[in-house]
Amino acid sequence: MPPARLIVRRGRRLSARPGSRLSAESIFARLGKEYPTAACALNHRSPFELLGATILSAQCTDARVNLVTPALFARYPTPAALASARQEDVQDIIKSTGFFRNKARSLIGMAQGLVAEHGGQVPRTMEQLRLLPGVGRKTANVILGNAYGINEGVTVDTHVSRLSQRLGLSRHDDPVKIEQDLVRLFPRDDWALLSHLLIFHGRQVCIARRPRCEECVLADLCPSALV
Ligand code: SF4
């Protein structure tokens, strides 16, 4: 089935100019009311576990990752344990998350980096995180925002990208440029939660193929609304 085509109704009156701070403020407030429990969906008990889970979440659902991480961290509870793991053993545990060879390599390399460079701790800066194998800007934002409460940037995944475009918050496709637009529009204290709110809304209402505009609390703010 082809993706639903979004029609921008130019004549429709919107309650705030798309991409304005007023629009951004209203979007955040309404989504906050709609999803009061929005939070990181990856189960974890420590920054190390969140880092491992986030590496596994590439091209995979959070629900699938949550099925795999209990066995992974039962067998390798610390960076030191994972750093000396055999690649084949890690692969066997994480196989169902896809791309398992690369992910196993990244997990072991990440753990070795933590042990060798950071005393077995997960670092707290974007620069240090990004030097670890398998860790890009998106993963680093997840760790900083959710494990440490540091709002260094906005996590831009596929849901955040899609909603930012549909809501007129960004005209870009590139996640880095979308992030730059979002950090200009939303206060720094809101960045981690903003990402969770957009992800929740993207999973439940503003679905990729078939957005449910008729039940969307943002319809009067959204230039892509089908209602
Ligand atoms: S579901 Fe809401 S946010 Fe998504 S396109 Fe429709 S009105 Fe816009």
Q: 21-39+154-221, which class in CATH?
A: mainly alpha
Cα separation, 55 vs 48, in Å, equals 11
95 is catalytic: no
Q: Is the CB of 224 under 6 A from ligand 1?
A: yes
3-state SS, residue 65: helix
CA of residue 216 to ligand 1 center, whole Å: 6
pTM strictly above 0.85: yes
Give the per-residue pLDDT at 90: 98
> In a mutational test of the pocket of ligand 1, which residue from 222, 226, 227 has the highest number of ligand atoms less than 8 Å from its CB?
222
pLDDT of residue 16: 80
What is the CA 135 to chain-centroid distance, rounded? Answer: 13
Name the CATH superfamily for 47-147: Hypothetical protein; domain 2 (1.10.340.30)
State residue 2's pLDDT score.
36
| Contact indicator for 30, 218 with CB cutoff of 8 Å | yes
For residue 195, report the distance from its CA to the centre of ligand 1, in Å.
Answer: 16
Q: Which residue has the tokens 């407030």?
A: 29
Is the distance from CB of 94 to CB of 104 less than 8 angstroms? yes
Residue ranges of the chain whose pLDDT lies below 50? 1-8, 10
Distance, in Å, from the CA atom of 21 to the CA atom of 169, rounded to the nearest integer, reads 9
Angle at 216 between CA 210 and CA 217, to 5 degrees: 160
- Please identify, by atom number, the ligand 1 atom nearest to the C-alpha of residue 225: 7
Question: Domain residue spans in the chain?
Answer: 21-39+154-221, 47-147
CA distance 126 to 130: 6
Could you give the CA distance from residue 217 to residue 164 in angstroms, rounded to a whole number? 15
According to the model, what pLDDT value does residue 11 have? 57
